[in-house]
Chains A and B, each alone.
Chain A
Amino acid sequence: MDQLSVNHLLGIKSLTKKDINLIFNTASHFKEVINRPIKKVPTLRDITIANLFFENSTRTKISFELAEKRLGADIINFSSSSSSVKKGESLIDTVNNILAMKVDMIVLRHPNPGSSLLLSQYTDSCIVNAGDGSHEHPTQALLDSFSLYENLEDLKGKNILIVGDILHSRVALSNIYVLNLLGANVKLSCPLSLVPKDIEKLNLSVETDIIKALKWCDAVNVLRVQRERMLKSYFPNNREYSMLFGLDINKLNKIKKDILILHPGPINRGVEITSDIVESNNSIILDQVENGVAIRMAIIYLLASKMNFTINE
């Protein structure tokens, strides 16, 4: 069978279309597994995974933990707030110490862009990027596009809109890469102050009129405004942002068509999206959460299958 072209999952940029199809195909089988009465398989019973979270996370951490447990792996959890990082230990030293305890795979969330790449170069372990600063969040993008793929089938030629804080969003960049690979048309909608530099190099256009953008798209992925990453003010206030770019029933009524609505979470209800839209029939937000476990099981399974089993005789 085909296998992944990479030994680590550092970002979508390093994946091929074939890799993505393989991940989707494997995830669909794991989705069936996690809907069985007993949701656990023993495949990774000889693998130990360390979840290193140097940044706060709820759903990604829980999703990775569940995926690992359902694959039968042993896991250890680490958060920087209660570790020797506080005493001045470097990232590479921390990880090498953990690896010395016979850990096979590292799932890393870190505030610095490129931290996963750095670890893959300086440590002898399989690295899965669970979000590195404002760079990439590959598993989120894969579960977003897998959720779209389940509903729209082939994404080639489909129009996907990303609305929100593109500038600070690792989810946006990874989504753009994966959607481009799958042949979807991608458009952004946000205040011009939240558009990253050189965005045109990614073959994207920006539409500041949200109604026009919504009329164009088959699905919209709504991103959170990341106040915690903003060192200055990018728009006057939440109320103005919500009026111009927040998804609400009035805007959706104006476009007179059904579109799929995604949100990677956490949601700021009333800012980028209203509660009635979150809970509407067009929302696939909870499907995204369920698919997150299946996608992460697939990625861990496919990466682990490239780590050959050895016994010292």
Chain B
Amino acid sequence: MSNKILLDSEKIEIILRRLVYQLIENHKNFENTVLLGLQPRGVFFIKQILEIFKRDHPNLQIKNGILDYTFFRDDFRRSEKTLSASSSKIDFSIENKNVVLVDDVLFTGRSIKAAMSSIDTYGRPKSIELLVLIDRRFKREIPIQANYCGAKIDTFKGDRVKVVWGDKLKDNVIYIES
């Protein structure tokens, strides 16, 4: 098994800043926009995004929450293991809001499909967008694409993309395990 570094901390920070600017470009003052980090890995990613907002754009108030979509997954009873739920934390109404889902890696698209179904239990959003750090191209099993994408990569079957979030921005790294 070998590990190849895909993005180091410097490149990741440039990407994070770009993604934040793209969000600002589309959502201006975020008055009617909420960001939802998807459990489990999107929660770490959204923390980094919010950190950049706080550091570079302190005047913007970003409503954010955590969404777990386990009970909406399409593989319940399809494996030997019980699907483990995590907590959701959304302390506001999402009725008529612009929702941006935040996840680290877009792979088959099935998680995003489950997350979009799950959102309906909190109300009917005005729109749903998807922001991902890594898009594993050509691996999609359903027709879902990201609106905001950090980097697109091609991988072999069996490769694993690992996003490691450090305590500080300079400790972040993304590598491919093959």
Contact = CB atoms under 8 A, between A and B. Distances in A.
A159 interface: no
B121 A39 contact: yes
B71 A33 contact: yes
Interface stretch (B20-28, B54-62, B82-90, B155-163): B82-90
Interface string B109-130: 0000000010011110000000
Contacts of B88: 29, 32
Nearest to B76: A43
Contacts of A32: 87-88
B81 interface: yes
B87 to A, nearest CB: 6
Contacts of B70: 29
Contacts of B121: 33, 36-41
A75 B128 CA distance: 34
Contacts of A309: 76-78
Interface stretch (A126-134, A136-144, A218-226, A300-308): A300-308
Interface string B129-152: 000000000000000000000000
Interface string A281-313: 000000000000000000001101111110000
Nearest to B79: A308
Contacts of B72: 41-43
Interface in A1-57: 1-4, 26, 28-29, 32-33, 36-43, 46
B87 A1 contact: no
Contacts of A40: 121
Contact of A29 (B86, B93, B122): B86
Nearest to B84: A1
A26 B85 contact: yes
B160 to A, nearest CB: 19
A39 to B, nearest CB: 7
A304 B77 contact: yes
Interface residues of B, number: 23
B81 A1 contact: yes
A36 B86 contact: no
Contacts of B85: 26, 29
B166 to A, nearest CB: 26
B68 interface: yes
Contacts of A301: 71
Contacts of A26: 85
Contacts of B117: 42
A3 B83 CA distance: 9
A21 to B, nearest CB: 13
Contact of B77 (A28, A33, A308): A308
A29 B82 contact: no
A200 to B, nearest CB: 38
Contact of B82 (A28, A33, A38, A302): A302
A38 B87 contact: no
A310 B32 CA distance: 44
Contacts of B95: 37
Nearest to A4: B82
Contacts of B123: 37-38
B71 A41 contact: yes
Contacts of B71: 29, 33, 41-43, 301
Contacts of B68: 29
A60 to B, nearest CB: 23
A302 B76 CA distance: 11
Contacts of A33: 71, 121
Given A29-B68, A43-B72, A306-B82, 19 more contacts: A1-B81, A1-B82, A26-B85, A28-B87, A29-B70, A29-B87, A32-B88, A33-B71, A36-B121, A36-B122, A38-B123, A39-B121, A41-B72, A46-B77, A301-B71, A304-B77, A305-B77, A308-B78, A309-B77
Interface of B: 68, 70-72, 76-78, 80-88, 93, 95, 117, 120-123
